[in-house]
Amino acid sequence: EFPEPISEADLPKIEEEINRELAEGRQWERTEVSREEARQRFLADQEPYKVELVDTAEGPISFYTQGDFTDLCRGPHLQDSRPIKAVKLTGLAGAYWRGDEKNTQLTRIYGTAFYSREDLDAYLERLEEARRRDHRRLGPQLDLFHFEDVAPGMPLWHPKGMVIWNALEDLRRRENEKRGYLEVKTPQMWDVELWKRSGHWEKYHDALYLVPHGETTFGLKPMNCPGHMLLFSSKLRSYRELPLRFAEAAGLHRDEPSGTLHGLLRVRQMVQDDAHVFCTEEQVQAEIDEMFDYVGFLYERFGVRELAHAELATRPENKLGSDEQWDHTEGLLRTALERQAIPYEVMEGEGAFYGPKIDLFMDDAMGRPWQMGTIQLDGQQPARLGCAYVGPDNREHTPYVIHRALFGSLERFIGILIEHYAGAFPFWLAPVQVRVIPVGESHQEPARSIRDRIASAGYRADLDERGETVSKRIRDAEMEKVPKAIVYGDRESEEALAVRDRGGGQSTASLEDLLADLATL
């Protein structure tokens, strides 16, 4: 909590002081003190933040001493500074005290240290590449989306961003229909009594946006599963109807802490390509196999299959159901992973409260993993919400439900796509596929005709007839990562178009040949 604001310009001075101390050499010595001794020390020094840390700390209270400076720290630290050969302060950011937006906003300074200058240089190079690919920078630059302070964690999608969004949605709808999913729609909010019945309230009530109405309190839905189970249980089903696959890409809301929001990768309002498959135990394996086939198709189509890696999340402490039931459902998912020959890590205790799950992760430009798709096997909620079918024995049975989202949230998937391609999307996905640039006013009409012909062939083409220089308009097309640009001047005609590829390649082609070429991209 600085008495005067600190800026990026101050970092070199701080870094210089760090390097001076490293050159002199520093040691760090740890001592443990009683909670009361630590508390009295910080009360005397008028350090309320550290008093709070002492009051809430678990385990022993430790201090570290460096020269004549002693302060509270959990550690562990290096014994001395000799291994540190290179240091770089990388930036600063606002951070609410203890991650709570109701608390004071402090300033956090970020830095890193390495065993060699070469390692630091390599890291900074990776960092620069990550910044170049950062979707939070590219999104506004490419006119895809932006955020507003009055709706934190809720993106505003621009027309060009909606091209990518609709590509995901169109593919989702088309493939769902081919694969036997039925599109449904459920309410955006429910009486909180439903969340209590389903079991979500105990774990998720802090993430619910609550809407009081008279004597009732509603919660904006953070997930679709209870609604889909009410759909299923709206009538008694026959085993002949199973598997029954409900799909819904609905807006969901989760009150994520401010400090965890991260562009499109962690938001408060999201849309999942959600589905719930109601099936018998004998149908579980075949359904999961089909889901892996589906997700493989999607990830291949978007060119991100090599990014994905899997985890098997097992029973948490606050689980519903018996250990025997969890042994069974975990075994079914483990068998599915091994049958698909998918490498995976086991994450003990990370399952949903109602069942184990297979989570698919992808890394962002910084190498940080983000959960994308998920396949979850639920043997608990269906019984709690009255789901039943009549079996061939004429008796009622509770179905299994497989929860699945394959993109995950559309927002997060698009964020990963932006970083993976550094905004240079493949031709079929690019918001603007072809840009036509007339050299002067006299060229605008034939250039518009070229644009219209390309658009009528089914491609996303626009016309840049601004009064800027031709070189600036070409440069802007490159900055916007438009795959194809056509410059139309005195020497151009439908038989000889000057075509520029994204990245600098140039060629001459007739309009007919160009359209034939576009059809192959």
**What residues are labeled active site?**
225, 254, 272, 274, 276, 357, 403
Which residues 6+ apart lie within 8 Å of 449 measured at CB?
none
List alpha helices for 388-510, DSSP H: 410-421, 444-456, 470-479
**What percentage of the chain's residues is helix, strand, coil (to nearest 5)?**
40, 30, 35
Phi-psi region of 424 (alpha: psi -120 to 50; beta: other; left: phi over 0): beta
Q: How far apart are the first and last CA of the chain?
A: 54
> What CA–CA distance (Å, rounded) separates 155 from 411?
9
Among 206, 208, 170, which Cα is nearest to 191's?
Answer: 208
Closest CA to 452 of 431, 434, 477: 434
DSSP 266: B
Query: In this structure, what token pair is assigned to residue 65?
Result: 């001493």
Quick check: 237 and 244 in contact, CB under 8 A? yes
> Would you list the DSSP string of 8-40?
GGGHHHHHHHHHHHHHH--B-EEEEE-HHHHHH
Radius of gyration of the chain (CA): 29
Parallel/antiparallel/unpaired status of strands 189-191 and 309-313 = unpaired
Quick one: 1 exposed, middle or buried, by C-beta within 10 A (0-12, 13-18, 19+)? exposed
Q: How far apart are the C-alpha atoms of 432 and 509, rounded to whole Å?
A: 20
Give yes or no for a contact between 188 and 221, defined as CB atoms under 8 angstroms apart: yes
Helices 511-518 and 444-456 cross at an angle (nearest 10°) of: 40
> Do the Cβ atoms of 223 and 196 come closer than 8 Å?
no
Instruction: Of 225, 226, 208, give the one whose Cα is nearest residue 217.
Output: 208
